[in-house]
């Protein structure tokens, strides 16, 4: 009975310890204290004689020693104790191959928990290290429990190794139990999360300090730049004053030279060129009059189009994600192949998930049984046993009370001695204490099934249930099928496809990661870039004519589906552009064999249309003082003449210009014949 009582007490103690340590881990910021706390708590839960903690070094691909504790050898060292020779790091890979012979590296690589009853009888791993340690120190390594430390992102950050679990009563070395495995696994997960959070906080503090340092440097640089700017401005003022003087001298010299040349030119022109120029001017006037003609106004159509180029893409793209973490077992598709909705694309290797599922199911069954026992705690064996013990104590108390009272009456009659009365009283007092102890034990036993203990059991059951459901879903969705029909593509658009990684048999996939895309080929979309000057000429819903050099004679009408509201800044000072997406909802079946994803496309967008436009030859319009004029014909007393008329112009073409106001159909204007 004593041994059973001790085991039950240990379960309660471990639950309480797990709760207290969880709170302490979340508040501890000192990494050294955090690591010591983890090993202390794990050893206390499992009653382990020794423990070692390793941290995963991703860059160097090995396990770095951090903490070593051994009660028998009276050893407590950490990686911070430079004066003590620490254990060497454990490599995860040897000559490019996984180091599965070492139990710690195996756990770090696979995430599996390993329990060894006796390392000297085990052939699964190479235990040369512990055996050499035993030979040098006289220590005897026997049972071992190695657990991965997995954080909230399911990443392994370290390995916790416990050695030589001891029996609570005899102190003999025994194998680690399933309860030890569960409690320490829960602690390891909490510890991994706490260590990750601590590292994140340290990185955040470091980033803040770097930002502050950069801000200080920026402030100092700003002050230096300001001083340099002031000095430059002062130097510029002096330079400007000097240049102004030089400029004035140059202007005066230039004016003098110009006046001199003008005087010489006027003199020469008056003597020689003036008669000839007069003759030429008269001839030109005659020629102009002969070339000028009238233009009668008629209405017509004026259009303007914007021409762009782009690349054909599927009408839309559906991304497919990995349902579980693991390796690809089978592949049933090829990139660029057209698949149908529901078609099997690949199957994942579920061996690791199946192991985790069995482990999770066992944990859930134990947690459910524990919670069921807590719910009916007053009928549990422990409470029934304590109640039975209390009943026996009550009977013994009543009997001893009667004995004491009888002895007291006999003493008063002089039939027994005072020593007999004292003995009877002592026995009665002892039985009273036993009864009170039994009553306290019953109260404590009943409290185990209420309050926080009941909540902890419920939380553990719900957590185990959630984990089990998640693994069941992973097994269900391990076969990936096509959700829609279309062409298999690498993740991302066709512009990025060359940089994406192809999925192959044996590839490792992260749960939730995008593994491929399916493009809808019932229609196409075209992505193009619009110059900032032209962005105001287009709008969503506008029609677009789509053609291509690779599919001549085929023309489709599309629609602008999307316009980016933010321009792309071009490096080197180029003109900003805006993303535009044009969609062609349906492609005729006869053309699908000639049009493919990735082909270039030409886009024609009609940006202006006036089918009743008034146009005149460009030579009919003159400009003065920022205004436009034409010479419009009018009849004055039966005679034709032309008067200068102001007009408002619109779009200009290579030989004509649109008139928005000032002229009407049927009017006649004069052109200069150029």
DSSP string, 463-495: HHHHHHHHHHHHHHT-EEE-SS-EEEE-SS-TT
Residues 383 and 482 in one domain: no
Percent of the chain with pLDDT over 90: 14
Q: What is the mean pLDDT of the chain?
A: 81
Q: Which residue has the tokens 């026995």?
A: 427
Residues 155 and 251 in one domain: no
Please check whether residue 130 lies inside any domain of the structure. Answer: yes
Residues 154 and 49 in one domain: yes
Phi, psi of 302 (to 5 degrees): -120, 125
Token digits of residue 600: 């270039």
Q: Which of 183, 199, 215 is the last residue of a domain?
A: 199
The predicted pLDDT at position 266 comes to 54
Torsion of CA 454, 455, 459, 465, to 10 degrees: 40
SS3 category, 207: helix
By the 8 A CB rule, do 349 and 327 touch? yes
Q: Which residues contact 490 (CB under 8 A, 6 or more apart)?
A: 335, 496, 497, 500, 501, 502, 516, 517
Q: Which of 291, 309, 337 is the last residue of a domain?
A: 291
Residues 119 and 80 in one domain: yes
What Å distances lie between residue 80 and 68, 77, 194, 438, CA to CA? 11, 8, 20, 49
**Measuring CA to CA, which residue among 130, 126, 99, 103 is closest to residue 114?**
103
Instruction: State the Cα–Cα distance between residues 465 and 593, nearest whole angstrom.
Output: 52
Please check whether residue 304 lies inside any domain of the structure. Answer: no
**Average pLDDT of 412-420?**
86
Least confident of 113-127, 239-253, 407-421, 601-615: 239-253
Residues 482 and 337 in one domain: yes
Higher pLDDT, 221 or 33: 33
Residues 104 and 180 in one domain: yes
What is the pTM assigned to this prediction?
A: 0.38
Residues 431 and 500 in one domain: no
* Domains identified in the chain, total number: 5
Tens digits of per-residue pLDDT, 338-397? Answer: 888 889 988 888 888 888 888 999 998 988 887 787 777 777 777 788 888 888 888 888
Tens digits of per-residue pLDDT, 76-94? Answer: 888 776 556 678 899 999 9
pLDDT for 280 beyond 50: no
**Average pLDDT of 209-230?**
73
Please check whether residue 297 lies inside any domain of the structure. Answer: no
**Average pLDDT of 649-674?**
82
Residues 192 and 212 in one domain: no
Phi, psi of 176 (to 5 degrees): -70, 135
What CATH number corresponds to the domain at position 340? 2.40.50.100
The predicted pLDDT at position 520 comes to 77
Please check whether residue 95 lies inside any domain of the structure. Answer: yes
What CATH number corresponds to the domain at position 158? 3.30.450.40
Residues 187 and 221 in one domain: no
Neighbours of 418 (CB within 10 A): 8
**CA dihedral for 176, 363, 355, 188, sign (positive or negative):** negative
- Which residue range forms the structural domain that includes residue 590? 524-671
- Paired sense of beta strands 627-636 and 668-671, if any: antiparallel
Please check whether residue 307 lies inside any domain of the structure. Answer: no
**Measuring CA to CA, which residue among 425, 390, 419, 388 is closest to residue 404?**
425
The predicted pLDDT at position 82 comes to 58
**Measuring CA to CA, which residue among 530, 524, 531, 529 is closest to residue 494?**
524
Please check whether residue 310 lies inside any domain of the structure. Answer: no
Q: Which of 405, 439, 474 is the last residue of a domain?
A: 474
**Measuring CA to CA, which residue among 563, 592, 550, 618 is closest to residue 306?**
563
Residues 104 and 14 in one domain: yes
Please check whether residue 97 lies inside any domain of the structure. Answer: yes
Residues 495 and 635 in one domain: no
Percent of the chain with pLDDT over 70: 82
**Where does residue 434 rank: exposed (0-12), middle (13-18), buried (19+ CB within 10 A)?**
middle
Query: Do you know the residue count of the chain?
Result: 674
**536 secondary structure, DSSP code:** G
By the 8 A CB rule, do 66 and 51 touch? no
SS3 category, 141: coil
Tens digits of per-residue pLDDT, 298-343? Answer: 888 888 788 888 888 887 788 888 877 778 888 888 888 888 888 9
Residues 116 and 247 in one domain: no
What Å distances lie between residue 525 and 130, 397, 557, CA to CA? 65, 93, 11
Please check whether residue 54 lies inside any domain of the structure. Answer: yes
Q: In what order do the strands lie in the sheet with 326-331?
A: 479-481, 344-348, 326-331, 508-509
pLDDT for 286 beyond 50: no
Q: Which residue has the tokens 């104590």?
A: 393
Q: What confidence category does residue 99 fall into, taking pLDDT thresholds of 50, 70 and 90?
A: very high
């Amino acid at each position: 009975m004593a041994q059973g009582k001790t085991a039950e007490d240990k379960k309660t103690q471990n639950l309480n310890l797990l709760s207290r340590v969880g709170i302490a881990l979340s508040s501890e910021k000192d990494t050294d204290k955090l690591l010591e706390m983890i090993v202390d708590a794990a050893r206390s839960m499992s009653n382990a004689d020794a423990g070692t903690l390793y941290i995963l070094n991703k860059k160097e691909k090995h396990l770095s020693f951090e903490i070593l504790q051994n009660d028998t050898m009276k050893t407590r060292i950490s990686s911070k104790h430079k004066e003590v020779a620490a254990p060497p790091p454990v490599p995860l890979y040897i000559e490019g191959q996984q180091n599965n012979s070492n139990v710690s590296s195996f756990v770090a690589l696979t995430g599996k928990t390993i329990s060894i009853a006796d390392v000297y009888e085990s052939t699964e791993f190479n235990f040369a290290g512990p055996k050499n340690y035993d030979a040098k120190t006289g220590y005897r390594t026997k049972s071992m429990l190695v657990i991965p430390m997995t954080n909230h992102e399911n990443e392994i950050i370290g390995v916790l190794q416990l050695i030589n679990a001891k029996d609570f009563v005899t102190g003999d070395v025994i194998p680690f139990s399933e309860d030890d495995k569960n409690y320490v696994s829960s602690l390891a997960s909490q510890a991994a999360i706490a260590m990750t959070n601590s590292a994140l906080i340290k990185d955040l503090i470091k980033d803040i300090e770097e930002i502050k340092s950069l801000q200080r440097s920026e402030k100092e640089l700003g002050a230096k730049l300001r001083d340099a700017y002031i000095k430059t401005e002062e130097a510029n003022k002096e330079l400007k004053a000097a240049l102004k003087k030089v400029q004035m001298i140059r202007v005066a010299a230039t004016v003098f030279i110009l006046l001199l040349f003008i005087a010489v030119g006027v003199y020469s022109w008056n003597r020689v060129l003036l008669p000839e120029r007069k003759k030429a001017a008269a001839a030109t006037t005659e020629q102009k009059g002969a070339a000028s003609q009238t233009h009668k106004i008629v209405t017509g159509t004026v259009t303007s189009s914007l021409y762009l180029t782009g690349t054909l893409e599927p009408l839309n793209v559906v991304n497919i994600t990995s349902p579980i973490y693991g390796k690809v077992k089978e592949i049933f598709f090829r990139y660029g192949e057209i698949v149908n909705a529901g078609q099997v694309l690949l199957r994942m290797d579920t061996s690791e998930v199946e192991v985790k599922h069995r482990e999770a199911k066992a944990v859930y069954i134990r947690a459910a049984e524990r919670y069921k026992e807590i719910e009916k705690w007053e009928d549990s064996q422990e409470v029934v046993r304590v109640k039975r013990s209390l009943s026996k104590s009550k009977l013994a108390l009543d009997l001893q009370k009667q004995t004491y009272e009888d002895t007291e009456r006999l003493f008063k009659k002089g039939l027994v001695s005072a020593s007999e009365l004292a003995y009877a009283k002592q026995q009665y007092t002892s039985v009273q204490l036993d009864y009170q102890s039994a009553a306290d034990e019953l109260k404590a036993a009943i409290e185990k099934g209420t309050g926080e203990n009941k909540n902890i059991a419920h939380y553990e059951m719900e957590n185990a249930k959630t984990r089990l459901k998640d693994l069941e879903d992973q097994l269900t969705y391990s076969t990936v099928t096509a959700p829609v029909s279309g062409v298999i593509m690498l993740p991302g658009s066709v512009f990025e496809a060359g940089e994406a990684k192809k999925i192959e048999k044996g590839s490792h996939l992260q749960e939730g990661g995008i593994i491929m895309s399916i493009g809808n080929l019932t229609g196409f979309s075209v992505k193009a870039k619009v110059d900032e000057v032209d962005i105001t000429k287009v709008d969503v819903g506008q029609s677009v004519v789509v053609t291509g050099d690779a599919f001549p004679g085929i023309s489709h009408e599309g629609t602008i589906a999307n316009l980016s509201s933010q321009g792309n800044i071009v490096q080197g000072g180029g003109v900003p552009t805006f993303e535009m997406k044009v969609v062609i909802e349906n492609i005729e079946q006869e053309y699908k064999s000639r049009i493919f994803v990735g082909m270039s496309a030409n886009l024609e967008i009609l940006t202006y249309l006036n089918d009743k436009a008034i146009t005149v030859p460009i030579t009919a319009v003159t400009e003065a003082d920022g205004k436009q004029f034409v010479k419009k014909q009018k009849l004055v007393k039966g005679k034709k003449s032309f008067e200068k008329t102001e007009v408002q112009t619109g779009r200009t073409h290579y030989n004509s210009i649109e008139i928005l106001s000032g002229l009407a159909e049927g009017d006649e204007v004069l052109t200069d014949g150029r």
